[in-house]
């Protein structure tokens, strides 16, 4: 019996130790001594490729500009940020925010603002001179009730069509010029089909189809009504939206059968291999083509048909979380993110363009130079698929409807879901 007791105690002790060590591990992140409080934890979903290279560029500037602080990478990979957003939501709910986190500028940030999770950084804009460096249209897009809550690191353009000139030549189409309208585009795709191209438009699942829908809506409604759509100012149930969605249906019917099973780099490779003529995707394609060593002559690009006067943007930005660790260090990070040097270090590697309008174009590759000129000249409209126009919740509802539409092709159902999603709460 004695032996029985001592064994029991030993077993209990072991369980107790396990429990204590498990708790200890989870607490490590929160408790910080004086040395650790200089750490600046930067939360992103930039874990590899051009994104990681861009982040490394920012870090090198940070290391020289903010010598008092230490950069701690807390990137979460995968799922185009959806995994990271889940982890971030948990950290924020547990009151353990990082020093600064990545968030799409615009409506997606609205979730964090409403939840009281990010601080107003308007003062920093004055301090760093960012209010003069960023174009007014961007600042207007970032401002919520007179306050700004994040510093954008870059700008991407969403409404770009990437085309294969060799395939277009088969149908005697002019590769140098975008079709004038969605109707003209549809006519071109008819010709391509007649010339033996089975799926003239390559696209992929989820947000890629959402981007095609957005481009068609933007072309058909015009920039003002399109922007109003996401704010609940344009009637989403209206006849003009119905007509636009009918055209989206037509456009989608020219796309590849396996669109639900592939990702955007696969769709891009269909174009590069000549199986398809076009793919519609944001300008991170330029960085992908560069890293895949596709020569400039093998592809061409223009704004999505009918949207040439607009620049549909999305921007990655950094925030100052409420009660975040090392706020001084976080401010120094934000200063680097907004600075001309930081934006150059980041954007030349990530394939995006700087948000600052005083950037020197010749520092950048060919595609970015053209995009920078457009960024200054065109009407800026936000993208829903990438959080500039929609909250995470709205985007979830729209993505679900897009997936349903891809197989059923039922316009009234899609329009109903769209109208329900954009209805202001």
Partner 1 sequence: MHGRIRTWGPGALVLLPTVLLLGYFVYGLIAWSFNTSLTDRHTARKGPAEYVGFDNYVNLFGEERFLNSLKNLGVLTVAFIVGTLIFGLLWALLLEKGLRGEGIFRSIFLFPMAISMIASGVVWGWLLNPSQGDDARGLNRLFSILHLNVLENPWWTGGSRWTTMASIALPAVWQLSGYIMALFLAGFRGIPGELREAARVDGASEFKLYRHVLFPQLSPIALSALIILGHMSLKLFDLIYAITGPNQFRTEVPSVYMWNTLLRSDMAKAAAISIVLLAVVAVLVIPYVAYTVRQESEE
Q: Which stretches of the chain bind partner 1, using CB under 8 A?
A: 1, 4-5, 8, 11-12, 15-16, 19, 79, 82, 85-86, 89, 92-93, 111, 114-117, 198, 205-206, 256-258, 260-261, 275, 391-393, 396, 399-404, 406-407
CB of 207 to partner 1, least distance (A): 9
- Candidates 114, 103, 82; CA nearest to 424 is 114
Nearest CB to partner 1, comparing residues 5 and 31: 5
CA distance 26 to 250: 53
CB of 61 to partner 1, least distance (A): 32
Nearest CB to partner 1, comparing residues 143 and 323: 323
Structure tokens of 60?
A: 């090198």
- CA dihedral of residues 18, 21, 22, 27 (deg, nearest 10): 160
CB of 319 to partner 1, least distance (A): 14
DSSP structure class, residue 118:
B
Nearest CB to partner 1, comparing residues 36 and 89: 89
Nearest CB to partner 1, comparing residues 37 and 115: 115
CB of 43 to partner 1, least distance (A): 15
CB of 33 to partner 1, least distance (A): 27
Structure tokens of 402?
A: 């897009």
Structure tokens of 106?
A: 């615009």
Structure tokens of 233?
A: 């100012």
Q: Alpha helix (H) ranges present in 292-350?
A: 327-338, 340-350
- Asked if residue 171 lies in contact with residue 293, where contact means CB atoms within 8 angstroms, the answer is no
Residue length of the chain: 425
Nearest CB to partner 1, comparing residues 14 and 194: 14
CA distances from 270 to 104, 265, 396 (A): 29, 9, 27
17 HSE (CA, 13 A, CB side): 6
CB of 271 to partner 1, least distance (A): 15
Nearest CB to partner 1, comparing residues 62 and 405: 405
CB of 89 to partner 1, least distance (A): 6
Nearest CB to partner 1, comparing residues 261 and 373: 261
CB of 81 to partner 1, least distance (A): 10
CB of 404 to partner 1, least distance (A): 4
Nearest CB to partner 1, comparing residues 65 and 258: 258
Task: State residue 71 phi and psi, 5-degree precision.
Answer: -75, 130
CA distance 111 to 33: 32
DSSP structure class, residue 176:
T
Nearest CB to partner 1, comparing residues 174 and 396: 396
Contacts of 323 (CB under 8 A, 6+ apart): 95, 97
- Candidates 225, 149, 212, 151; CA nearest to 186 is 212
- Asked if residue 113 lies in contact with residue 324, where contact means CB atoms within 8 angstroms, the answer is no
The dihedral sign for the CA sequence 322, 325, 329, 334: negative
């Amino acid at each position: 019996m004695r032996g029985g007791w001592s064994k029991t105690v030993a077993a209990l002790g072991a369980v107790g130790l396990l429990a204590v060590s498990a708790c200890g591990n989870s607490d490590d992140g929160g408790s910080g001594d004086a040395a650790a409080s200089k750490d600046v934890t930067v939360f992103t979903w930039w874990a590899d490729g051009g994104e990681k290279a861009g982040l490394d560029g920012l870090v090198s500037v940070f290391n020289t500009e903010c010598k008092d602080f230490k950069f701690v990478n807390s990137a979460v990979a995968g799922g185009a940020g959806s995994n990271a957003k889940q982890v971030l939501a948990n950290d924020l709910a547990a009151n353990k925010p990082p020093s600064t986190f990545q968030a799409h500028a615009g409506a997606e940030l609205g979730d964090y603002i409403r939840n009281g999770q990010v601080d107003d950084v308007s003062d920093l804009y004055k301090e760093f001179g960012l209010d003069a460096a960023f174009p007014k249209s961007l600042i207007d897009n970032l401002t919520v009730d007179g306050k700004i809550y994040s510093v954008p690191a870059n700008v991407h353009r969403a409404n770009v069509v990437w085309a294969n000139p060799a395939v277009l030549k088969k149908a005697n189409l002019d590769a140098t010029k975008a079709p004038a309208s969605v109707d003209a585009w549809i006519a071109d795709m008819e010709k391509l089909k007649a010339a033996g191209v089975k799926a003239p438009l390559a696209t992929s699942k989820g947000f890629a189809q959402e981007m095609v829908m957005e481009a068609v809506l933007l072309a058909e409604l015009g920039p003002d009504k399109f922007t109003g759509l996401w704010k609940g100012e344009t009637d989403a149930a209206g006849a003009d939206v119905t007509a636009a969605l009918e055209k989206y249906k037509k456009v989608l019917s020219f796309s590849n059968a396996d669109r639900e099973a592939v990702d955007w780099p696969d769709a891009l490779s269909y174009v590069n291999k000549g199986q398809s003529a076009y793919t519609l995707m944001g300008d991170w394609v330029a960085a992908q083509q560069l890293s895949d060593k596709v020569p400039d002559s093998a592809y061409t690009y223009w704004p999505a048909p009918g949207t040439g006067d607009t620049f549909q943007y999305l921007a990655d930005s950094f925030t100052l979380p409420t009660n975040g660790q090392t706020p001084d260090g976080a401010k120094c990070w934000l200063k680097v993110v907004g600075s001309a040097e930081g934006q150059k270090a980041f954007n030349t590697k990530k394939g995006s363009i700087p948000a600052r309008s005083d950037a020197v174009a010749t520092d950048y590759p060919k595609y970015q130079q053209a995009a920078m000129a457009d960024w200054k000249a065109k009407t800026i409209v936000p993208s829903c698929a990438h959080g500039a126009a929609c909250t995470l919740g709205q985007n979830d509802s729209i993505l679900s409807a897009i997936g349903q539409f891809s197989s059923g092709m039922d316009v009234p159902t899609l329009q109903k879901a769209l109208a329900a999603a954009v209805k202001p709460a």
